[in-house]
Copies of this chain bind each other. A is one copy, B any other.
């Protein structure tokens, strides 16, 4: 047992922590102001401060930290990247600053592991440069996506082409003007074995037949300038070379993508929880009612203690999942990954709810707390709802006795 992070992790953590503190946090307000000033509903623009921050981070080598490859990225394994992801989770804009924001990270990993040279050249390189962004089109509006066999979109092979049809939503990032391609998942061979039916296809945003029907609000927010799209794929024809790793491997790729992706999400949620708890504590010390700081009133200290205990436990289980994924591989961490996917967003929701409550009227209007509440609530649904992950944990537990 050794709970200290590796030296490499600590070095990156220190640099990222300092950069966020000195460069990112002070710019959060400018970012927001620029966003409001330059954007309207139909055409979002990227706040210039973001590109400036990206350039600075890139210059310092704080770039693509999620990618385990030491040449293209930082060469951190999951357990070393996890605490870095937590730090980024403290700010809504930090992940992008370090070119570490979803869904680009997951898409880059897919291309890195499964892409051929041409695909890497065309899409992975500009993505890793931070020149373009990308989307991921998997969830569908008409069916319960928690059950993957429900998927209705198709990626049919016709001669040299793959022809794509279907309607997707929660295609995150698709509203970003820099978004140049999507990874699309659809059924290629409905007769194949259950896990060999789907393909993943690289779809340029400007391919004929790709149409954004609307941007979908998430708890009232559009999450501009990235957003979540409902996208129609109407007979989109692409060369077969657009299929990643060949037809029928979509499910396999999705599974490999989800493990690290869920760990990143959870660590960011834990980072956000820390920020929310900090807000809670500061407010409880700074605000006076009935002659006392709120911290000395009622059950507020119990709430603070419960938050601290929940966060620390969630972090350890997430780190353990990251470690086990590194050391023992995907099949050994099914319980842990599902567990943290339930725990971390629920912890964040609890902490943020408490932070909002202690802020009173200000908590209702506070942009940051509201961002975190939306993040928590959405994460309890995205990438598999709580219910599906609890069922997985229970199934594996009961399996020990069957």
List residues of chain A with CB under 8 Å of any chain B CB. Answer: 1-6, 9, 79-80, 139, 141, 144-147, 150, 169-170, 216-221, 277-278, 281-282, 284-285, 287-290, 294-295, 297-306, 308-309, 312-314, 316-317, 319-320, 322-324, 327, 335-336, 339, 342-343, 356-357, 360-365, 370, 373-374, 377-378, 380-382, 385-387, 389-395, 397-398, 400-402
Contact = CB atoms under 8 A, between A and B. Distances in A.
6 contacts: A2-B2, A144-B287, A281-B397, A285-B401, A297-B391, A313-B343
Contacts of A400: 281
Contacts of A319: 1
A317 B312 contact: yes
Given A220-B219, A285-B401, A398-B285, A308 B339 contact: yes
B144 A395 contact: no
Contact of A298 (B9, B221, B301): B301
Contacts of A277: 397
Nearest to A364: B218
Contacts of A219: 219-220, 364, 370, 373
Contact of A343 (B309, B364, B378): B309
A313 to B, nearest CB: 4
B147 A361 contact: no
A361 B281 contact: no
Contact of A360 (B4, B288, B381): B381
Given A357-B381, A360-B381, A301 B343 contact: no
A283 to B, nearest CB: 10
Given A216-B364, A304-B393, 5 more contacts: A1-B80, A1-B319, A144-B287, A146-B360, A299-B302
User: Which residue, of A6, A309, A339, A343, has the highest number of chain B Cβ atoms within 10 A?
Assistant: A309
Nearest to A140: B361
Contact of A363 (B342, B381, B390): B381
A146 to B, nearest CB: 6
Leading 3 A-B pairs by shortest Cβ distance: A299-B299, A301-B394, A144-B289
